[in-house]
Amino acid sequence: MKITQIRNATIKLEYKNTTFLIDPWLMPKDSMQGFDTAVNSDIRQPRVELPFEIKDIVNVDAVIITHIHPDHWDECAEKAIDKNLKIFVQSEFDKEYIKSKGFTNIEVLAVEGTKYKNITLYKTATQHGKREIIKPLCDSIGMPYDAMGIVFEAEGEKNLYIAGDTIWCDEVEDALNKYKPDVIVLNACAATVLNGERLIMNIDDIKNVLNKAPNSIIIASHMDTVSHLTLTRKDLKEFKKEFYLNNLLIPEDGESLVF
């Protein structure tokens, strides 16, 4: 298994001789305004450029879109990705949306497991911020609330759990209990909306995952890119140093990790 951190939640995964691109946000630095409903709305995003050429990023076997928020899927991805490439999504709603952009080979991942080549992909549930608070906010601005995580299983490979855009919640704990992943990717910049609620994990959430899965490797992704972040790689490195957390990895953009 090889995981390459590209930028934000965009990662490239080589798993069982198959290459996946996850959540491609490919627009140039500063292309998009900050979100009006979130902190730091005056800061443009992405805050940094891509570390690789787009043509190299999209050279994959399949794409997984955990949800269609604009920092996980954008017009640059729509233009750069082959319209016939295999794309996995979380729901029929997302499938119809991606289909409307001209893509032809779209499949909804199943909780019970979806076979792709020699790999089984499992859709896992999330809370993209506290459901009772953030879902009404998303509804009010016409933005879908739900996101998904994914578990990858294959003979001869470590189990991988990409938790997706989520806070620590029962759904994440259930996935850890059920799949007992060897490697876990957490979206962890503590992106925060104006009412103070977080949309994804902070240090306390990471602590909960570390306590629940002490033998797993934890990878911090979705860092240093969106306008509404409140936790940085620098913060996480200080946390890691303070508590001697050798199993917490904080890759830079463009860095690859091999397991």
pLDDT of residue 217: 98
**Contact call for residues 48 and 254 (beta carbons, < 8 A):** no
Contacts of 133 (CB under 8 A, 6+ apart): 195, 197
Q: Please answer whether residues 4 and 12 qualify as being in contact, where contact means their C-beta atoms are separated by less than 8 angstroms.
A: yes
- pLDDT for 99 equals 98
pLDDT attached to residue 141: 87
Q: Which amino acid would we find at residue 230?
A: T
Which whole-number Å values give the CA distances from 198 to 29, 44, 206, 207, in the listed order? 24, 19, 13, 16
Q: Domain residues for 15?
A: 2-255
Q: What is the mean pLDDT of each run of 10 residues along the chain (259 residues)?
A: 98 98 98 96 98 98 98 98 98 97 98 98 98 94 94 98 98 98 98 96 98 98 98 98 97 98
The CATH number of whichever domain residue 221 belongs to comes to 3.60.15.10
Question: What pLDDT is attached to residue 52?
Answer: 98
Q: Report how many domains make up the chain.
A: 1
Can you give the pTM of this predicted structure?
A: 0.98
